[in-house]
Amino acid sequence: MRRLLIPVLALGLVSGFALWQMSRPKQLPETALAGFVADAALGEAVFHAAGCASCHAAPEATGADKRLLSGGMRFASPFGTFIAPNISPDPRHGIGGWSKTDLANAMLFGTSPDGQHYYPAFPYGSYGRMTHRREGLQDIAHLHASLQTLPASSAPSQPHEVGFPFNIRRGLGLWKRVFLQDDWVASVPLDSAPLQRGRYLVEALGHCGECHTPRNLLGAPQTDQWLTGAANPSGTGRIPAIHALDWSEADIVYYLETGFTPDFDSAGGHMAAVVENTAKLPPSDRAAIAAYLVALP
């Protein structure tokens, strides 16, 4: 028994060390964004495209109050309830002390400034694709500057309501290794700048697939069913498919600006907040989103 115990213990130690290394959070070098000049005005469009206020404003906030990103919005899921944190520029309770690289690590890899894994309720699985466009890191630098101009909130972030084993954040490192893919999802002709821009907005910055794509039992998007609709994680209703809309590009552009559908319905639920953001984008961005969606097989 003693002769067997030693190799078993050794194997356990080696396996444990390997799993610890494999689950290590990924981070950029601190100087990764040092050469990017940030412009808060340009970051405003990134702020709207990324939907920051839709999740991080206080529940029931409207109008200008949505610029106070105090957090508190609740997102139910089969794994527990995730509560959006304070990302206002408050240095203690928000992200006022974050560098541009800290924000990039959070958005691209789901890694906090102190090296912890964020839950994928934060859509870093989509934001990670921003690295495939030249302007991706530049957009993060602009967004960082824009976030610093917003009002600060001293409201502390609330802990997520997640039980065992999902509260073991180190395990998210293995989840990321298995399920995160930062390559583009859809194979669409890239014969125009609007299509390239549309793919960037839909698949990366706008993270449309986070809601409109079904997930597997472990919560990872099933990209082979890209944008085909999904069960509402709250347990009620269904999020519609947007991969084969019977709409023209003009219909989609109009919907993204006004919230009105071609059949005289209007956006509701969380999609109403999305339209509130897309309505503030440049017309060329709404047209690019429409071009991408129409080009999908």
Residue 289: the pLDDT is 96
Residue 140: the pLDDT is 96
Residue 139 phi, psi (nearest 5): -60, -40
The predicted model gives 104-111 an average pLDDT of 95
Which residues contact residue 10 at a Cβ distance below 8 angstroms, ignoring those fewer than 6 apart? none
Q: Domain map of the chain by residue range?
A: 32-183, 185-297
**pLDDT (tens digit, 9 = 90+) per residue, 25-41?**
888 988 888 888 899 99
Q: Of 242 and 187, which is predicted with more confidence?
A: 242
Q: Could you tell me the pLDDT band of residue 52, with boundaries at 50, 70 and 90?
A: very high
CA atoms within 13 A on the CB side of 127: 24
Architecture of domain 185-297: Orthogonal Bundle (1.10)
* CA–CA distance, 215 with 4 (Å, rounded to integer): 43
Residue 211: the pLDDT is 92
Does residue 271 have a pLDDT over 70?
yes
Q: Could you tell me the pLDDT band of residue 10, with boundaries at 50, 70 and 90?
A: low
Q: Could you tell me the pLDDT band of residue 15, with boundaries at 50, 70 and 90?
A: low
Residue 255: the pLDDT is 94
Q: Could you tell me the pLDDT band of residue 186, with boundaries at 50, 70 and 90?
A: confident
**pLDDT (tens digit, 9 = 90+) per residue, 113-162?**
999 999 999 999 999 999 877 788 999 999 999 999 999 999 999 999 99
Structure tokens of 222? 């099933």
Supply the pTM of this predicted model.
Answer: 0.89
Residue 14: the pLDDT is 56
Does residue 188 have a pLDDT over 90?
no
Does residue 19 have a pLDDT over 70?
no
Averaged pLDDT score across all residues of the chain:
88
* CA–CA distance, 200 with 224 (Å, rounded to integer): 18
Does residue 23 have a pLDDT over 80?
no
Q: Of 276 and 14, which is predicted with more confidence?
A: 276
- The bridge status of strand 238-239 relative to strand 74-77 is unpaired
The predicted model gives 212-239 an average pLDDT of 87
Contact in structure between 86 and 69 (CB atoms under 8 Å)? yes
Does residue 2 have a pLDDT over 70?
no
- Quick one: what percent of the chain has pLDDT higher than 70? 92
Residue 293: the pLDDT is 94
Does residue 43 have a pLDDT over 70?
yes
Does residue 11 have a pLDDT over 80?
no
